[in-house]
Structure 1
Amino acid sequence: MDFDLESLVHVEQSFYDEGYKDGFDHGRIHGLIEGRALGREKGFEMWEELGFYEGFALLWKGIQEAQGVKDDRTAHNIRHLLELTAQFPRANPSATDASELDIPRLFRQIRSRYKALCAMLGVKPTLRASGSSPAQEATEDPGKTPVASEEGNGLWKIDDTRVSVPPKDYSF
């Protein structure tokens, strides 16, 4: 009987290598699944924000055209914001793609142009996600002024004399 003593010495390393290979293959599969799910979620958030900016620019462009307003600076910023949103890729750019598109940089430019346009129009920029809670919106209401307490946190005055109209509940 021919017995290989050398393989017995390295038995622990061979089990370790086999386990590592199996774990790596298993992790690769789950990493792809989780990566796709996260990419889908973040991609939807980006497109939602991009659609908001494009819709905002198109709305104000339509308002200016309907009113016959000839403000060159505002029209220039609207046009520039629409050009920036048009540069955003409509398909998923792969890592092997030859284009050197810097998506975070493009998003920063779009956000900056949006803020500049809001300043020109006298509109408060809103960068909240659409899923913000009503409690957050109530604390961000510019019509109400918080009353300072000893702890320094903002409390709303109960005997406020201003009449507040409850928001209409639209159901579709």
Structure 2
Amino acid sequence: MPQASGNIALKLKASHLSLASQRFHGEGYQDGYAEGNRIGVTEGRIYGSLHGARIGSEVGCYLGFALTWQHLLHNCTGEKHSKKLKALESLVGMIQKFPYEDPTYDKLQEDLEKIRGKFKQVCSMLNTHPDFRIGLERSVLTF
């Protein structure tokens, strides 16, 4: 009989080891998941800030460009200038309606593409070829 109680004790120890192993595995998984989630949120914020800054810089350049040309053409007369001013007003209006504060806006990319298209149209009408280069060191606008 002493051997039977030894087997039971051995089985209990193995059972306790198995339960402890499962518990540690579960706790390790939860800790790892929480740490990965924290790192993911941090990386997401960094990426979102960078991407948002790029979009803001791009759209800001378009707005500055359009407002400058509106000012330059303000006193000009004629149908050609009237069409240019209308296109510039349209571009400014699109930019002013752009939802800067809402990154979850479902048509953000679509509206940004429309602004880019209108900007290209305006550049063509004005016979200008601006080159926006947004880099890490500085922004450059050339004509």
Assess same fold via TM > 0.5.
yes
- Percentage identity across aligned positions? 27
Superposed displacement of residue 129, structure 1 = 1.5
- Identify the residue that residue 24 of structure 2 maps to in structure 1: 15
2:92 maps to 1:82? yes
- Indicate which of 110, 113, 136 corresponds to 1:108: 113
Query: With structure 2 as the length reference, what TM-score do the two structures score?
Result: 0.74
Question: Superposition pairs for residues 17-166 of structure 1, below 5 Å?
Answer: 17-71=26-80, 72-93=82-103, 95=104, 100-129=105-134
AA matched with 1:54: L
Three-state SS of the structure 2 residue aligned to 1:89 is coil
Superposed displacement of residue 13, structure 1 = 3.7
Decide which structure has the larger Cα Rg and report it. 2
Q: Which runs of 5+ in 1 are unaligned?
A: 143-172
Partners in 1 of 2:26 and 2:102 — Cα distance? 36
Q: Which has the higher contact order (CA 8 A, sep 6+)?
A: 2
Partners in 2 of 1:55 and 1:17 — Cα distance? 56
Three-state SS of the structure 2 residue aligned to 1:127 is strand
Three-state SS of the structure 1 residue aligned to 2:75 is helix
AA matched with 1:126: D
- Identify the residue that residue 146 of structure 1 maps to in structure 2: none
Partners in 2 of 1:126 and 1:12 — Cα distance? 62
Structure 1 pair 111/132, CA: closer, same or farther in 2 (3 Å)? Answer: farther
AA matched with 2:55: M
Superposed displacement of residue 61, structure 1 = 0.8
Superposed displacement of residue 11, structure 1 = 4.6
Count of residue correspondences: 131
8 Å CA contact 1:61–1:78 kept in 2: the answer is yes
AA matched with 1:43: G
Superposed displacement of residue 70, structure 1 = 4.5
Partners in 1 of 2:135 and 2:68 — Cα distance? 18
Q: Which runs of 5+ in 2 are unaligned?
A: 1-7
Query: With structure 1 as the length reference, what TM-score do the two structures score?
Result: 0.63
CA RMSD in angstroms, aligned pairs only: 3.0
